[in-house]
Chains A and B, each alone.
Chain A
Amino acid sequence: MGVHRFEHHAPTTLEEVVKLLTELGTEAKLLAGGTDLLVFIRHGRIAPKHIIELSRVGELTRICELESGLIIGACVKLREIERNSVIRRLYPHISEAASQVGSVQIRNLATIGGNLCTASPAGDMIPTLMVSGALLHIVGASGERMVRIEEFFKGPGETALCATDVLVSIQLPPPKPRTGWAFFKLGVRGAMDISIVSVAAKLTLSESTSDIVSEVKVALGSVAPVVMLSHSVEKLLTGKRITDSLIEEAAHSVMNEVKPISDHRASAQYRRLMAAVLTKRALKTAFHRAVGEQQQLTQLEVNQGSVFNGG
């Protein structure tokens, strides 16, 4: 509950950040948006002696569209992810997930990299990035590297980052044609909820006009120590023609795959059931979008409350 004393650093380049991390070691914490970090400090969950603020490092806040895909800086605000026209066009599920995190004021602070590095099993950005095949660009004292997102999470609050590492950006490969995406989260309220279960799906249909699945990915949040990809869905659907009963079967299969816990938000039993319900919805929506049912898409945007102001 306390407000601890700490020293504040505001470097302007990545090199300075890494240098500071090297000097200060585990007593330092990186501050991106602060919506998790400052709450954790207030609740006494962590008590860093140094805070290194990243907001003044310009290269962390850019979004670049390249032929090789999209690069999103780690400190891009969720509000921008929600509204950015390129992301909304190419990866609508990522925008939709962003729009469902916290509130407008939270999303004006919170960053996509922060959502990843907090490594909550309920982090809403993680499933969408996982089904998108995101690569994470990390820079540290020992150089730079790319890490596949599914290898990034080691446990609740634990990542592959070592003490001197900084997550710089998230790289997304360009979506293949005839790909549909979806993201669903379940909470109690209409907004401001920590997910009881969240599911993201990507479904790519083969080039022809048939309904054969060439690639499918389903990622689930809040049902295991880290956000997880479903292997059973991939196995059941890849190469198959999509039918309602097949989707039903795939959704059912995730119940045996997830490893949820019971806590004050929900029981393990309920989470297991809802993993199937949301998987079914996500697969159906992704399928509809893959075959280009635009009307469905608009409708769903409204339904999920991902209504964009202005834009």
Chain B
Amino acid sequence: MGTDGVGERAFRIDAPAMVTGKAKYGADIHVPSMLHGKILRSKYAHARILRIDTTEAVQMSGVKAVITADDVRGSDLFAKDYVRFHGQKIAAVAADSVQTALEAIEAIKVEYEPLTAVTDVRDAIKPDAPCAFIGGEFEEVRDAYGRPLRNISRYREFISGDVEEMMRSSDAVVEGEFYVPSVHQSYLEPHACIALPIGGGKVEIWTSTQGHFQVRSLTARLLGLPLHHIKVIPTFMGGGFGGRNTQVYTEPVAALLALKTGLPVQVIDDRSEVILDSHPAPACYARARLGASKDGTLMALDAEVFWDGGVSGYIGASVHLRGLYRLRSYRIRSYGVYTNKPAPGAYRAPDAPQMAFVRESLMDMLAREIGIDPWELRMKNAVEEGDTSTDGVPLPKVGFKETLKALMDYSAKTHERSKAAFRTASPTAHLNGSAPSKAALEMLGSGNWRVGRGLACGEWTNYSGYSSATVMLNEDGTFQVITGSCDVTGTNTLFAQIVSEELKVPIKKVSVVVGDTESVPWHHQTGGSRVAYTTGMAVLKAAQQLRERMLQIAAKILGVDAQELELGEECICVKDNQSQRVSYIELGRACIAEYGPLHGSHSIAWMPTRPAYAVALAEAAVDLDTGKVKVLRYIAAQDVGKALNPLAIEGQIHGAVMQGIGWATMEGYKYTDDGRVANATLADYLLPTSTDAAEIEPVIVEVPNPDGPYGAKGVGEPSIIPSLAAIANAVSDAIGKRVTSLPMTPERIVMVLMH
């Protein structure tokens, strides 16, 4: 079976635990005398809290503790004077059964004075909008037309060149108003943890998270505890996608209840609570125009971007709008806006899909306007080495053009597999609402179907962050890897592959563990496509260090010079005399007995990173009668630098694209007139099912990154970035009208067709 080294399609080493149900997730740690915690949440989106009466709940039989804001003064764990979004925490209860806990929170009486709520960023900025955050700090700014704006929390602008002048000298200018809804990461595992008091005012928390050090610091801050009184142990995690990145949910509540009662407390959010009180991707409203000369040279980009910032007034990274093309000039005005929603959070390439939707829609409009192939237009303006990056520095060698070319080559090669329609001159050319191919029709069934094709591009520079790794030789010749990076995507498997690659041992002899907050140095959270990159590099360096030490000890044992030795699958031997050898088992034993335990360790404080590119071609069918959209085929080309595990990378691309399909066609928060979430169940908050799956074809491109491990770049995020735009461009192509608001539900399409 080989050694499953780097570049191999290694199976996940933790998959046997998952397929047998043995893997323990946040809700799966059960201990004797465990209590159950439940959280009382606001039923209003915006209200003044007049009174909270817990008397009845406290007296209920089986109730062990009731906590409110009064128990954590100076912390915003629980709402105190105001509730500012539907589902905000008000109180919590620990009881001896879930039933009793639920009955107790229902027995807590809260008197509210309802206030007007605003949950749509487009409403929140209007001059007559209600104030979303009483007592908040606001920016007094006006929009591009000089109109005063309400509820603005932050304002930033990014300017280069003379936009007005460049617009005037453009031969073609396209413009649009765009809206992308807020969507939930929708990790399938609800927030869940257990907190155990371990004496001396200390608490141990087992939780499902992307960053246990972040859980520790946030919990400590919210409860006013020193860090060393909190130990966080990460469990298996049922998806995160950024949502469990630097966030806490049930952890501080469970910890406080555990400390109050002196008993272990399990707290599990149900799905409605997950949808209501978490940190989804922000909605975004943008007005933008793009100008170009008639040969397609981009001249000017002018945009105003309004981020639906929830209670934190979050402002997104509008600079992603500028992105990956050479632009003669640009002016991006970016606004963070308070609304009565939870603070937005990270979701796979945060803010980039929204910005790519705006930019790549404009690019598609421009291609039509000046009559140029959409692919040619991108190729003509694509950044390359020496151009300025999003961060304003000169770019090193990047792989954008290579990725564009790879997509074109693959499309041309597989053109006959097109699900949408018969051959066109160029595999990326618009189809202009063609009739579907016979194969597509068979799949689609009855309907007045038209098909279209959409191209879009995205850029993403992964995060570095801090990581460390230790690789040890065990006394039986097996190996142990220890890091502090929670495994989201199969990175533990990759670490085993790296050890296998460096030490020439089979992957099955390598075990990988994620240390808790008291066992390993501080790590950044798993996110920003950084773990295979930074932690991977730490493992690589640690393995190399261990190899050197192993060779040194082996040299001593064999009485030869270390340079004369080489590593094999089972042993270290003399290059010229294979019979002169020491097996890993002997080496391991000898170290414990004589030379001291052998390990290699490496810490990384920061690593240079490079942008990676994702280029997507979507083929979609639209039923003109009902408006129903079906993504038929989706080609996703992505530059990964070096494919460390193609099986895992394909999985990342498939998943990212499917999340994009969901965001583009069905997902999104909906609100009642009074600001409550109208779709807080999975019957109403629609996620793609197996029947919505498209044929997704990953095209892995390898433009090496000399700074990354084996040349790798960040992988998990890029492919979601162009997905909204690629699908919207395909749908617009199919129906002959531009769709600028998401999601593209059947109703929205029919309304676009009618107007």
A and B touch in the complex (CB under 8 A): yes
| Binary interface encoding of chain A residues 165-203 relative to chain B, with 1 for a CB under 8 A from any of its CBs, else 0 | 000000000000000000000101111111010000000
| Binary interface encoding of chain B residues 685-696 relative to chain A, with 1 for a CB under 8 A from any of its CBs, else 0 | 010111110000
Inter-chain contact A196/B746, CB cutoff 8 Å: yes
CA–CA, A186 and B446, complex, Å: 12
Inter-chain contact B446/A188, CB cutoff 8 Å: no
Inter-chain contact B666/A300, CB cutoff 8 Å: no
- Answer yes or no: A162 CB below 8 A from chain B CBs: no
A1 — which chain B residues lie within 8 A by C-beta?
102, 270, 272
Inter-chain contact A190/B691, CB cutoff 8 Å: yes
Question: How many Å from the CB of A225 to the closest CB on chain B?
Answer: 19
- Answer yes or no: B628 CB below 8 A from chain A CBs: yes
- Answer yes or no: B745 CB below 8 A from chain A CBs: yes
B102: contacting residue among A3, A190, A264, A302, CB under 8 A: A3
CA–CA, A281 and B445, complex, Å: 12
B692: contacting residue among A189, A273, A277, CB under 8 A: A189
Q: How large is the interface on A (under 10, 10 to 19, 20 to 34, 35 or more residues)?
A: 20 to 34
- Answer yes or no: A5 CB below 8 A from chain B CBs: yes
Inter-chain contact A194/B442, CB cutoff 8 Å: no
CA–CA, A278 and B448, complex, Å: 12
A267: contacting residue among B666, B684, B747, CB under 8 A: B747
CA–CA, A305 and B628, complex, Å: 15
B689: contacting residue among A3, A192, A264, A302, CB under 8 A: A192
CA–CA, A277 and B442, complex, Å: 20
- Answer yes or no: A308 CB below 8 A from chain B CBs: no
A302: contacting residue among B106, B272, B442, B628, CB under 8 A: B442
B102 — which chain A residues lie within 8 A by C-beta?
1-3
- Answer yes or no: A303 CB below 8 A from chain B CBs: yes
A146 — which chain B residues lie within 8 A by C-beta?
none
A267 — which chain B residues lie within 8 A by C-beta?
747
Instruction: Contacts A2-B106, A190-B689, A191-B691 given; indicate if A302 touches B670 (C-beta within 8 A).
Output: no
- Answer yes or no: B678 CB below 8 A from chain A CBs: yes
Question: How many Å from the CB of B652 to the closest CB on chain A?
Answer: 23
Inter-chain contact A303/B445, CB cutoff 8 Å: yes
Inter-chain contact B99/A303, CB cutoff 8 Å: no
Inter-chain contact B98/A188, CB cutoff 8 Å: no
Question: How many Å from the CB of B37 to the closest CB on chain A?
Answer: 15
Inter-chain contact B446/A270, CB cutoff 8 Å: no
- Answer yes or no: B387 CB below 8 A from chain A CBs: no
B626: contacting residue among A191, A264, A277, CB under 8 A: A277
- Answer yes or no: A46 CB below 8 A from chain B CBs: no
CA–CA, A190 and B666, complex, Å: 11
A188: contacting residue among B625, B746, B750, B751, CB under 8 A: B746
Inter-chain contact A277/B691, CB cutoff 8 Å: no
Question: How many Å from the CB of A53 to the closest CB on chain B?
Answer: 20
- Answer yes or no: B444 CB below 8 A from chain A CBs: yes
- Answer yes or no: B683 CB below 8 A from chain A CBs: yes
| Binary interface encoding of chain A residues 118-130 relative to chain B, with 1 for a CB under 8 A from any of its CBs, else 0 | 0000000000000
B445 — which chain A residues lie within 8 A by C-beta?
299-300, 302-304
CA–CA, A188 and B98, complex, Å: 35
Closest to A193 in B: B686
- Answer yes or no: A274 CB below 8 A from chain B CBs: yes
Inter-chain contact B670/A264, CB cutoff 8 Å: yes
Inter-chain contact B691/A189, CB cutoff 8 Å: yes
Inter-chain contact A264/B678, CB cutoff 8 Å: yes
Residues facing A in B97-132 (CB within 8 A) are 98-99, 102-103, 106
Question: How many Å from the CB of A138 to the closest CB on chain B?
Answer: 29
Instruction: Contacts A191-B691, A194-B683, A300-B446 given; indicate if A270 touches B751 (C-beta within 8 A).
Output: yes
CA–CA, A188 and B749, complex, Å: 12
B692 — which chain A residues lie within 8 A by C-beta?
189-190
A194 — which chain B residues lie within 8 A by C-beta?
683-684
- Answer yes or no: A160 CB below 8 A from chain B CBs: no
Q: Interface SS of chain A: helix, strand, loop or mixed?
A: loop
Closest to B751 in A: A270
Question: How many Å from the CB of B573 to the closest CB on chain A?
Answer: 57
CA–CA, A196 and B745, complex, Å: 11
Inter-chain contact A281/B446, CB cutoff 8 Å: yes
CA–CA, A1 and B190, complex, Å: 15
Instruction: Contacts A270-B750, A274-B626, A303-B445 given; indicate if A188 touches B670 (C-beta within 8 A).
Output: no
- Answer yes or no: A66 CB below 8 A from chain B CBs: no
Question: How many Å from the CB of B650 to the closest CB on chain A?
Answer: 23
CA–CA, A189 and B628, complex, Å: 9
B626 — which chain A residues lie within 8 A by C-beta?
186, 274, 277-278
Residues facing A in B178-197 (CB within 8 A) are none
- Answer yes or no: A86 CB below 8 A from chain B CBs: no
| Binary interface encoding of chain B residues 595-634 relative to chain A, with 1 for a CB under 8 A from any of its CBs, else 0 | 0000000000000000000000000000001101010000
Inter-chain contact A264/B679, CB cutoff 8 Å: yes
A305: contacting residue among B99, B106, B691, CB under 8 A: B691
- Answer yes or no: A266 CB below 8 A from chain B CBs: yes
CA–CA, A265 and B747, complex, Å: 9
B666 — which chain A residues lie within 8 A by C-beta?
188-189
Instruction: Contacts A194-B683, A304-B445 given; indicate if A273 touches B750 (C-beta within 8 A).
Output: yes
CA–CA, A265 and B666, complex, Å: 11
Inter-chain contact A5/B99, CB cutoff 8 Å: yes
Question: How many Å from the CB of B544 to the closest CB on chain A?
Answer: 49
CA–CA, A190 and B628, complex, Å: 10
B686 — which chain A residues lie within 8 A by C-beta?
188-189, 193
B751 — which chain A residues lie within 8 A by C-beta?
270
Question: How many Å from the CB of B131 to the closest CB on chain A?
Answer: 26
Instruction: Contacts A2-B103, A274-B626, A303-B444 given; indicate if A266 touches B270 (C-beta within 8 A).
Output: no
CA–CA, A273 and B670, complex, Å: 22
A265 — which chain B residues lie within 8 A by C-beta?
684
A300 — which chain B residues lie within 8 A by C-beta?
445-446
B442 — which chain A residues lie within 8 A by C-beta?
302
B625 — which chain A residues lie within 8 A by C-beta?
277
B670 — which chain A residues lie within 8 A by C-beta?
264
A43 — which chain B residues lie within 8 A by C-beta?
681
Known A-B contacts: A194-B683, A264-B678. Give 7 more (CB < 8 A): A2-B106, A192-B683, A193-B686, A264-B670, A270-B750, A274-B626, A281-B446
Q: Enumerate the 7 nearest inter-chain pairs by beta-carbon distance, A residue then B residue, closest first.
A: A303-B445, A190-B691, A264-B678, A270-B747, A191-B691, A2-B102, A264-B670
What are 13 A-B pairs at a CB distance below 8 A? Answer: A3-B99, A3-B102, A188-B746, A190-B630, A192-B689, A196-B746, A263-B678, A267-B747, A270-B751, A274-B746, A274-B750, A285-B446, A305-B691
